[in-house]
Amino acid sequence: MSLPHAKSESYRIFDAIAGRYDLINSVLSFGLHRLWRRAIRRSLPSRPGLTVLDLATGTADVALELIRSPRVDRVTGLDMSQGMIALGRDKVQARGLSQKISLEVGDAQRLPYAAASFDAITMSFGIRNVPDVLACLKEMHRVLKPNGRTLILEFALPQSRIVRAGHLFYLRHVLPAIGRMLSGHATAYTYLNQTIEEFPYGQDFTALLQKAGFEKVQFKNLSFGIVNLYRGDKL
Ligand SMILES: C[S@@+](CC[C@H](N)C(=O)[O-])C[C@H]1O[C@@H](n2cnc3c(N)ncnc32)[C@H](O)[C@@H]1O
């Protein structure tokens, strides 16, 4: 099998591992991914009747979390991988939520939506995979309504030297081995490790959000700083 390495091809890796993605996610995050998704839901704007766009929605776990909020009316999920979207659709249908969640195949850098369409946009562990990060953030800003909010979950490196050293050991040595075993894919989880170490986080990422036009930009560390939740508003 030829293995895509360029970010523009990263969705193909997700196509290849889609059937095992949820299991691997639970194992590699020790179940913490549930807490991280909950943190997104709790940071949504406080008004009712929200329509939310979830980018890089994958198998729709974030979309399914968001719709649990009484403030959310509808969620649209978008992802480049047909395989991930197909699994997501099965999950949405099995929960009887097809009227409230719709899933579409598409590119987060070129959103097929009119300006000012959504009250909130979420993206969980997706922005790292997008080749043109700034283009994607600008698109998010464009399709947000005024008073809208974007919420982005992404991996980071902890500030504490000891926690950081332990986490880097996990990322470089443990995670690729477990990922390879569970996915049956030679490089999918090596790629994960490389992208986490290279991707801007903390103030470097909030600077990109500001460059894309977001205001009141902030972030908070989750799980000792191995993940950050970024927030930016469109005024
Ligand atoms: C690590 S998964 C995250 C899935 C889900 N958000 C979650 O938290 O479980 C990353 C997803 O980004 C998608 N992706 C990669 N490049 C993309 C792009 N340019 N536009 C939309 N989705 C993309 C992949 O297909 C994959 O489903």
Which residues lie with the beta carbon below 6 Å from any ligand 1 atom? Answer: 10-11, 14, 25, 56-58, 61-62, 79-81, 84, 107-109, 124-126, 129-130
Give residue-wise pLDDT tens across range 16-50.
889 988 998 898 889 999 999 999 999 999 999 99
DSSP-derived pairing of the beta strands 144-155 and 227-234: antiparallel
Architecture of domain 7-159+200-234: 3-Layer(aba) Sandwich (3.40)
| Rg of the chain in Å (alpha carbons) | 17
> How wide is the angle at C-alpha 80 spanned by C-alphas 75 and 81, nearest 5°?
100
> How close is the Cα of 164 to the center of ligand 1, in Å?
25
- Distance from Cα 55 to the centre of ligand 1, integer Å: 7
Residues 6+ apart with CB under 8 A from 40: 62, 65, 66, 122, 124, 151, 153, 229
Is the pTM value of this prediction over 0.85? Answer: yes
| Model confidence pLDDT, tens digit, residues 120-164 | 999 999 999 999 999 999 999 999 999 999 999 999 999 999 999
Distances in Å between the alpha carbon of 126 and those of 48, 119, 180, 192?
26, 19, 20, 11
> What value, to the nearest 5°, has the Cα angle with vertex 59 and ends 53 and 61?
65
Distance (angstroms) between ligand 1 centre and the Cα of 221 equals 21
